[in-house]
Amino acid sequence: MPLILTDDQQMIRDSADGFFKDEAPVALHRQLRDSAEPNGFSRDVWAKMAEMGFAGVLVPEAHGGADMGHVAAGIIMEAMGKNLSAAPMLSTAVLGATALKAGTPEQQAKYLPLIAQGAHLLALAADEAARHKPNHVATTATPSGNGFKLNGVKGFVLDGAAADTLIVAARTSGETDDHAGITLFLVNPKADGVKIDRRHMVDNRGAARVTLSDVQVDGADVLGAVGEGHAILEKMLDAGRACLAAEMLGVSGTSFAMTVDYLKQREQFGQKIGSFQALQHRAAHLFCEIELARSATLKALQALDEGSDRAPMFVSLAKAKAGEVAILASNEGVQMHGGIGMTDAFDIGFFMKRARAAQETFGDAAFHSDRIARQLGY
């Protein structure tokens, strides 16, 4: 597959760019922050995203989805990154849909149409350690009745406070860091023993700490096979990581565009600061870095659509490169804006906050460098 967007994908890009610019611009993000909206996103926007087919981008047509693939999901996430649009796209449309596609026919029939309609939100409750380590699962699932009893604490559950269903990774066997013995469960957040505490994060997205105390789940709520949840979890995470790379590409793109504009307007020492070579070279270098991040991200999304064996390697490449570049782009953005870049009234700081949070989500550049090295055998 050539490393470019198809005609259809270019059309999706144009419509996603237009949609988020009109319906969920940075101004909306600021408004949600100022009004202390508890979930950090607008339900209205999410409903419109469902109408556009975005919520069902990875849902098969048989279940009412648009089934447009990972490249399309990434295109939508990039447009969201450009505008700092908050929505349960990652938690529900990407992670949720990927998880449920591994479910039983009954689970698929129950959840996938609701995901595509934007009528049901999911949240992944996997990470326990502050630094991402998906096989680190101390939360236990012990046999009880016709199902299991869950106990443990999940520290960083995106959209956890808004979710209608939690996807919980718990250990049915093995030691805390083993890959084997992890099982995924579909858990009702309103069930007895589930406690959800909103955590107020720097990027204003809805994250929660989820505490599970003797939560009883039914055997029918196991997702995939008992003890074999790690493979599904990795699949979910890889889809999420590639889409986060795309979102960070959007964050980098707008940070860079704002910065180059500012270099052309701001005058000091009697001339435009963009005429100073010290700043020109940094901007030109950043341009190159963003181009590299774009290539890596598109390759990862295509590899996921192809079901390639090398998809995990390309996903880590994209997440590492796009993450590093988003940090660079937003840091340079603030620095080149000077004092005004440090003010809350100006938007560039929002991009730096989102870049940092997206970089930490599901493994930062260091995590993914290590993962690439392992995949390449060293």
Partner 1 sequence: MADLDTFRAETRAWLEANCPPEMREPIRDDDDVCWGGRNCQFKNDAQRVWLERMGAKGWTVPEWPADYGGGGLSRAEAKVLSEEMRRIKARSPLSSFGIWMLGPALLKYGNEAQKKEHLPKIARGEIRWCQGYSEPGAGSDLASLRTSAEDKGDHYLVNGSKVWTSYADKADWIFCLVRTDPAAPKHLGISFLLFDMASPGVSTSPIKLISGSSPFCQTFFDNVKVPKENLMGTAGKGWDIAKYLLTHERDMIGGSDSTGGGQRDSVSNIAKRLIGLDAAILADTALRTDIARHEINALAFSLTMERVMAETKSGQGTGALSSMLKYYGTELNKERMQLLMSIRGSDGLVFDGEEKGDGDLARSWLRSRANSIEGGTSEVQLNIIAKRVLDLPGA
Give residues in contact with partner 1 (CB under 8 A). Answer: 2-5, 260, 263-264, 271-272, 274-275, 277, 280-281, 283-285, 287-288, 291-296, 298-299, 317, 320-321, 369-370, 372-374, 376-378
Least distance (Å) from partner 1 to the CB of residue 43? Answer: 37
Nearer of residues 44 and 261 to partner 1, judged by Cβ = 261
Least distance (Å) from partner 1 to the CB of residue 264? Answer: 6
Nearer of residues 156 and 262 to partner 1, judged by Cβ = 262
Nearer of residues 131 and 200 to partner 1, judged by Cβ = 131
Nearer of residues 199 and 272 to partner 1, judged by Cβ = 272
Using DSSP, state whether 165 is helix, strand or coil: strand
Least distance (Å) from partner 1 to the CB of residue 193? Answer: 40
Note every long-range contact of 263-266, with CB atoms under 8 Å and residues 24 or more positions apart, other chains counting: 263/336, 266/338
Query: Quick one: tokens of 73?
Result: 């999901």
Nearer of residues 46 and 256 to partner 1, judged by Cβ = 256
Nearer of residues 215 and 327 to partner 1, judged by Cβ = 327
Least distance (Å) from partner 1 to the CB of residue 288? Answer: 5
Least distance (Å) from partner 1 to the CB of residue 369? Answer: 4
Least distance (Å) from partner 1 to the CB of residue 342? Answer: 23
Least distance (Å) from partner 1 to the CB of residue 248? Answer: 14
Least distance (Å) from partner 1 to the CB of residue 256? Answer: 9
Nearer of residues 196 and 329 to partner 1, judged by Cβ = 329
| Three-class SS of the chain | CCCCCCHHHHHHHHHHHHHHHHHCCHHHHHHHHHCCCCCCCCHHHHHHHHHCCCCCCCCCHHHCCCCCCHHHHHHHHHHHHHHCCCCCHHHHHHHHHHHHCCCCHHHHHHHHHHHHHCCCCEEEECCCCCCCCCCCCCCEEEEECCEEEEEEEEEEEECCCCCCEEEEEEECCCCCCCCCCEEEEEECCCCCCEEEEEEECCCCCEEEEEEEEEEEEEHHHEECCCCEHHHHHHHHHHHHHHHHHHHHHHHHHHHHHHHHHHHHHCEECCEEHHHCHHHHHHHHHHHHHHHHHHHHHHHHHHHHHHCCCCHHHHHHHHHHHHHHHHHHHHHHHHHHHHHHHHCCCCCHHHHHHHHHHHHHCCCCHHHHHHHHHHHCCC
Nearer of residues 82 and 368 to partner 1, judged by Cβ = 368
Nearer of residues 123 and 263 to partner 1, judged by Cβ = 263
Least distance (Å) from partner 1 to the CB of residue 3? Answer: 4
State CA 231 to chain mean position distance.
19
**How many Cα atoms are found within 13 Å in the side-chain-facing hemisphere of 273?**
16
Nearer of residues 27 and 366 to partner 1, judged by Cβ = 366
Least distance (Å) from partner 1 to the CB of residue 338? Answer: 17
**What residue type is 296 in one-letter code?**
A
Dihedral of the CA atoms 99, 355, 301, 318 (nearest 10)? Answer: -110
Query: Quick one: tokens of 62?
Result: 């048989």
Q: How does strand 165-171 pair with strand 206-218?
A: unpaired
